[in-house]
Every structure is written in C-alpha cells, then in structure tokens.
Structure 1
C-alpha cells in the first residue's frame, strides 16, 4: 500500500507571452507549447473553460499531446458559480459537464468551481449547490474543489458541509482572500498566489521549502500544523491523498520556474 499520494505542481494555462524565450525556447512554435510544458510540469489548471465552452475534439487533442500521467484541472463555467441562487445552476452545470471534457480520460483532474469574492456563505445555498455535483460523468469519476473568497466561509459548518460531499476546498495562499487549509476530500488543492516577478523561482526558496513540507504532509494523510485549520477538532481520514499545487496570478512570469523548483524539492526530499 502506498504511504503517500501523488503530488503534482503546475501553472495556470500554457499560453503567456512572457514565457516565450524564458520558459519556452525562442524557436518553439506556439502549437508545441502544451507538449513542451507537459514534459516540464505535472499539471496545468485551465482557465479558458471558465469563460467559454470547448469542443470534444479540443479536449481529445489536449489529451493526445501530454504524457499519460499528466493532469488537467479545469476551471468550471462562470455561468454556474456567478449566480445569486446556486440551486438554479443545474442546467448550466449540465452544459459544462457535457461539453466533452471526459475526452481527457484519465488526464482529467479536479474541476475547480470558483466563486466571486462577494459571494457569502449561506449553508442552504451551498448545500443545494453541492447536491448538484455528480460523482461521475460518462462513466468517468469526477473530483470537485471549490474556491471561496469571502471570510464568511471560515466557519466549521462550511468545512463539515464539504466533507459530507467529499468536495475539496482550495487552500489559497493569497494576500487578501481567506485561507482554508482543512482537508475535506480525498485530495488537496492549493493555489499559490503570493509569487513575485522579481523572484526567479516565483516564491523565495524558504517559502518553497515550507510548501514542500506542507504538501508532503497532506500527501501522507496529515494536515500541516503551521496552517491554522478552520475546524481544528475535526479529524480527516489519515489515508494517503493526491495533492495539487498551482502557481497562479502573483509572479506569473516565473510561475513555471516555481512549479519546477517545488517539484525538484519534493523529489529531493524523497
């Protein structure tokens, strides 16, 4: 039996002009950027699916260009999450889930449902939303994670609600948004958003070392003691779990270097 889950580090998307000539070789055609990135990283969070739908052939093409063990996380449609009453999101959710994303097959990672910073916690509202999330689509198992960005969600009731549905909550390292480091599902999803373009590895080495330790703790079935839990008395399942860590927004110019350096640290630490 494995004593630790798989830890994947990555970035948001793969098309960004400042990466040309820094992360990507100068002579690399744009059409080969995904293939190149997927050989340097272990996961990519796709932001484009938040704004518009894709064709099944597009998802199939992405899957064909990356290694077997590479994973795409997809940000779910804004038409699902940007609404006052989440119980009314069923049809928009169906459209998102049936657009062909299962063409990714085993390369389909967590689906990220991101909510506006103004969206406040309402237990009944979110219970209705979580009840809509399917466990499978076209026979393929789904993993769901929510990113909430209002401090009203920092309550044990929200953590317990997610745990009942095996839905993860984003552990956001962000200057303004609340951090929720609790384990509520059989995987953990971190978004590291405090990077700097002035730091060659996006995050300073000391911070990368700290996150490497935290990710290993999560993967081994624990919860990092240096991150204050919202529901500290709650005991999550201590089984090994997969962990995802994406360098997003802050320090985007050097995000690929940060993801690679963090992966190197994890490998070196065993």
Structure 2
C-alpha cells in the first residue's frame, strides 16, 4: 500500500485552491482527512504540541487516517542526539495521544551534523518496537555501511528524499516500510514535479516495497498548492501501474497551457466528494 499525503495541511495559499473560500480554518483538518488518508506534521519539529492536541487530532480524523510526526528539533538540532532519553520520552508521551492514528516518527538530522552511528543507535533503541521510525540524515558522511547497519538493526527506514527531481539520499531499503519526501520539483510552475519524475518514483517504490509493505509518500513542496497537485498526480500514476494507493482528491484534465509546458499533471481545486475513500 502506498500512503500519499502532504507535509502539513495549514497553508493559507491553499484556500480556494484546495479549501473552499468560506470553510473556517478550524475545519481544515477534517476537510483534508476526508480527501487524504495521511499527513506529515512538521510543526511538532518547531514546537512540540501538548498531548491534548494529539488527542484532538485523533478525535477529528477518520479511523483509517495516519499521522506521521516530525521529531522535535530539541533532540535533533539542539542536543544533536546527545542524551536522547528525556526528549524521546517526552515526545512519545505526547505523540502517542494519537493512538492508532500515529504513523512513523520522522527524525530529520541537521545538514551540518556529521555521521555519528553510535548516537543514532542510542536514540533508536529508545523507541518501542511498535513505533515506526524514519531517519533523514542530510550530511553525506552518513552514507556508510555503519549507518545502514544501525538502521537495519533497529528496523528504522532511511528516508528517501528528492530535490529538483533527483534523489539526494541513497535508495537503501533498511526495513519493511518505505518513507519518501519530495521537497521541490523542476516543473513549472515552481515547485511542481513533472510526470516523468513522479513516474520514476512510482517505479522505485514498486520495486523496493512489494504489495503488503507500506510506503509513505509526502509532498513537501507546499507553495501555491503544488503539493496537493503533485500528490494527486503521483497517486494516479501509481494506480495506473496497478499499485494500491490511499484516497486522494479527484484529478482534473490538464489545460492546453499545462500540456504545452512540461507535462505537469494537475489536481483538482474542487473539494471533491465529501469523504469516500478510493
């Protein structure tokens, strides 16, 4: 199963592109969760919400909804994985308020943090076995066998990351689920992805994660609603390839201007059907 969503849902420029003009912002999560089955929460990185907030997100979303949560920067960027026990315990105490809505925990490391497999292992061993963890190192010194062995030993996924329609990480399979983040495409209008780039990622996931193994895919190119458009296009390509995909809003046909551009597949700005999964 490919679970397709976006990195966050509260973007003002999505109003009238994805959210109806008169829909109050306090109802945006419900609108989003009726059209997508997963979201990645980035604001926990900057300020970890209280447990009550996570509980409220659980109560406001359907039973099949899944929330990936980004680890607080206190652990990754301030402590730089040193003394991880208290930050991890605090994070889990709050994020587990999501109950069965909790998806993978995203541990994104600073781009200036050089490889420290010992510190990474000390951090990963603090997560219970039932919590999936995806790690996104961003310094090239991490691309070693030692790093890969640590991830495999703790069944943590290496985040596959894309920028400008190119992988910026090794495409290692380190556990039984995948995690892909798409930050910025090369198509127009910026920062969208072109059809060929999206199709390539569909093939990579299909090869690495056979049916029955989940792959979480989040579009982080939010300006102008590009993430919504690209998530819809990606899901459509995956379905046409015969892959099971979680629900997405309906696609609309590309305009002549879009077809004359660079093959970007556009999604619908219409809110779509009220909740039916596809």
Offset of residue 33 of structure 1: 0.9
- Alignment partner of 1:109 out of 103, 107, 125: 103
Cα distance in 2, alignment partners of residues 12 and 44 from structure 1: 6
TM, length-normalised to structure 2: 0.79
- Alignment partner of 2:225 out of 242, 253, 261: 253
Q: What 5-or-longer segments of structure 1 have no aligned partner?
A: 1-5, 136-140, 222-239
CA deviations over 1:192-228 (Å, ceiling 9, x no partner): 112258349921111122222222223317xxxxxxx
Deviating more after overlay: 90-99 vs 177-186: 177-186
Aligned to 2:24: 29
The runs of at least 4 consecutive aligned structure 1 residues that moved more than 6 Å come to none
Cα distance in 2, alignment partners of residues 259 and 183 from structure 1: 22
Offset of residue 268 of structure 1: 2.6
Q: What 5-or-longer segments of structure 2 have no aligned partner?
A: 243-278
Cα distance in 2, alignment partners of residues 142 and 173 from structure 1: 24
Q: 1:220 to 1:201 in 2, by over 3 A?
A: farther
Q: 1:128 to 1:19 in 2, by over 3 A?
A: same
Matched, 1:244 2:216: yes
Cα distance in 1, alignment partners of residues 223 and 195 from structure 2: 14
Offset of residue 18 of structure 1: 1.0
- The answer to whether the 8 A contact 1:102-1:108 is kept is yes
Aligned to 1:118: 112
Matches within 5 A, 1:1-270: 6-83=1-78, 86-99=81-94, 101-135=95-129, 141-175=130-164, 178-195=168-185, 198-199=188-189, 202-220=192-210, 240-249=212-221, 253-270=225-242
Offset of residue 35 of structure 1: 1.0
Cα distance in 1, alignment partners of residues 121 and 55 from structure 2: 33
Aligned to 1:229: none
- The answer to whether the 8 A contact 1:41-1:260 is kept is no
Question: How much is the aligned-residue C-alpha RMSD, in angstroms?
Answer: 2.2
Offset of residue 62 of structure 1: 1.2
Offset of residue 96 of structure 1: 1.2
Offset of residue 258 of structure 1: 0.8
CA deviations over 1:91-135 (Å, ceiling 9, x no partner): 111111112x22212211000011100001123232222233332
- The answer to whether the 8 A contact 1:191-1:245 is kept is yes
Q: 1:93 to 1:26 in 2, by over 3 A?
A: same
Cα distance in 2, alignment partners of residues 198 and 251 from structure 1: 12
TM, length-normalised to structure 1: 0.82
Offset of residue 177 of structure 1: 8.3
